[in-house]
Structure 1
Amino acid sequence: MIPDFQTLMRPVLALLADGAVRRSRDVKDAMAEEFDLTEAERAELLPSGRQRTIDNRIGWSLTYLSQAGLVARPSRGHVVITDDGRAALRANPTRIDMKTLEAYPAYLDFRDRTREKAAATAVTTGDDRREATPSDLVEQALSTNRAAVEGEVLQAALALSPTGFEDLVIRLLERMGYGKAGSVERTSASGDAGVDGIISQDPLGLDRIYVQAKRYAEDRTIDRPRIHEFAGALLGKQGDRGVFITTSRFSNGAVQEAERINARIELIDGRRLAELLVAYGVGVQSDQTVTLYRLDEDFFDGL
């Protein structure tokens, strides 16, 4: 019998306990061996027909373990256990599941993001799941997937070099449609102090938005002085609009400073950045499409 994704969590983590970086593909093959799956079970596909069931469930196990910080993804298609993952194995000798993961703040943040997205679309969850329609369940799955991918894309952004992160921000702004009639360029390499990018909204560059892009640890807080410095850089360029984008967060003082000064400065923290990257398809790709059908009553009424 193919185990569910929660049952797979501890075996997957135990496989990674030696600290070796493994391909996700190898983890999936190893789990099929450990649970002694038959050839038919290994070949079983999801209803969509696009992925093996065992691969999908192990993939979700790795996603949840990653969101809790028990495994890391050092490169594309590879996973490795973290110190927290080793500690979790020692503390939970028999089973690790979603309840276990609630002890980790990173997982709680992921769960909260999932619930927020579900609430935004009035999705039925929890004990009401039995009363949920197929559409409700699809929306819930989409909310979970979106929250997971946003967490992963933010981690990928944090792994970039400072210049790589600036390039990512420029790519996002272009995808969002900025500079369509002009240009979007990275300027930090030229030593343009206080500004990492310039959006020219018109061909002559008369209408400009200045960009500050900072790749900081998620738990770091950007405070009032950094916003004041950015405002000073705008003033030096006679600019009145700017966007400060970071992988971390802004303090209340920073938000108040952005609202106080004359220039209009938009603040985008790590959470909002991840949402925008996914929404505009930067650094992510479509996996599969689900189609729900309903009875066409007009068709039958016309017969």
Structure 2
Amino acid sequence: MSIPKYNEIMPNILRYLNTNGEQKFRDLEQPLAIEFGLSDAEIIQEYDSGNGTVFLDRISWALSYLTNSGLTERPRRGVYKNTELAQAFLDKPTEEIQIFVKQQMALRTAKQKAEKAEEGQLDESSDLLMENNQTPQEMLNTAHESIRQSTYDQIIDTVLSKTATEFEGLVVKLMERMGYGGQVKNAGTVTQASNDGGIDGIIREDVLGLGKIHIQAKRYAKSNTVGREEVQKFVGALAVAQSNKGVFITTSSYSAGATAYAESLNGTTNLVLINGEQLAKYMYDYSLGMQTKQHIEIKEMDSDFWDGMQNDSKVG
């Protein structure tokens, strides 16, 4: 089963709190995971950005919306329980609970907008909340991924506007940036175009040059496909160079036959195929030809700081 959306989790939270009383936020993860039949891998699955686990984040936002809608409350930090209002929703279908929460959040948003308008402030971001059943964290990740994909396209378009020689130098720099060559000074070299023997670049893995990675770089249009024959020729060039380590990099893609051939080598030759999208991703991740445009800082409560303070037993 796939990880449920935050709004699909809300009815289960209400029922669990009704049966088990107030609960710490993190203590809800395991029983809810069991209810939804999630695997261990799904429970610990993280966002691509690394900003926490998906399931726990969705539980957190489900609780936030339930609390803002008056169905749950926080008697203490990080602890939740049902309100009296929640009793009327325990037996209602999921859709009805979702509609109620959405209505309450819309009223809350309208009130906040009215208050901001009186103060001369405008805030359109709240209109996006609860759309597509995504949490704010997921919306942020979606926006981030959209920006990345757009930048990948720009990277390949720019690479294609440069000469083949520049591309060969670029992929050698990328391999060095990725850590290949280690501490070897000037580990990467571009071979002479007139006598490269099918090898466009070489990375020395050690000072003495006993270990080498050979590179072939093909600057093809995005619509092009590198076939099995070209990959076989590169493997032949590796054999002539007495090398068993090769990286074939292209700005386009590989045919199914080329991929199958590379996989069939079974370690006799260690061959890695990198297509255009992977190339752009590596350049982005390793900041080759890239600069950071903006940092977004998101903070969360420091549990160690707040848990070290004494709770007021009279509250709630």
Q: TM-score, normalised by structure 1?
A: 0.56
Residues 202 and 130 (structure 1), Cα distance of their counterparts in 2 relative to 1, 3 Å cut:
same
Q: Which structure has the larger Rg over C-alpha atoms?
A: 2
How far 1:137 sits from its partner (Å)?
Answer: 2.4
State the match for 2:144 in structure 1: 142
Confirm whether residue 225 of structure 1 aligns to residue 229 of structure 2: yes
State the match for 1:193 in structure 2: 197
Give the percent of matched residue pairs that are identical in Structure 1 and Structure 2.
38
Deviations 1:168-204 (A, max 9, x none): 1011111001112331111143622200001110111
* Residue identity in the other structure for 1:177: G
Secondary structure, in 3 states, of the residue corresponding to 2:301? coil
Structure 1: gaps of 5 or more residues? 1-115
State the match for 2:213 in structure 1: 209
State the match for 2:135 in structure 1: 133
Deviations 1:27-55 (A, max 9, x none): xxxxxxxxxxxxxxxxxxxxxxxxxxxxx
Aligned pairs, how many? 186
* Residue identity in the other structure for 2:258: A
CA distance in 1, matches of 2:246, 2:206: 16
Deviations 1:126-153 (A, max 9, x none): 9953654332222222111111111111
RMSD over aligned Cα, in angstroms? 2.7
Secondary structure, in 3 states, of the residue corresponding to 1:195? coil
CA distance in 2, matches of 1:154, 1:220: 13
* Residue identity in the other structure for 2:156: L
CA distance in 2, matches of 1:197, 1:160: 17
Confirm whether residue 178 of structure 1 aligns to residue 184 of structure 2: no
CA distance in 1, matches of 2:305, 2:192: 61
* Contact map agreement 1:188 1:195 (CA 8 A) in 2: no
Q: TM-score, normalised by structure 2?
A: 0.54
CA distance in 2, matches of 1:300, 1:117: 29
Confirm whether residue 237 of structure 1 aligns to residue 244 of structure 2: no
Residues 204 and 137 (structure 1), Cα distance of their counterparts in 2 relative to 1, 3 Å cut:
same
State the match for 1:33 in structure 2: none
Residues 203 and 240 (structure 1), Cα distance of their counterparts in 2 relative to 1, 3 Å cut:
same
State the match for 1:293 in structure 2: 299
CA distance in 2, matches of 1:179, 1:296: 41
* Residue identity in the other structure for 1:286: T
Secondary structure, in 3 states, of the residue corresponding to 2:246? strand
Q: Mapping of 1:69-218 within 5 angstroms?
A: 129=131, 131-182=133-184, 183-189=187-193, 191-218=195-222
* Contact map agreement 2:214 2:246 (CA 8 A) in 1: yes
* Residue identity in the other structure for 2:273: L
How far 1:241 sits from its partner (Å)?
Answer: 1.0
Residues 134 and 200 (structure 1), Cα distance of their counterparts in 2 relative to 1, 3 Å cut:
same
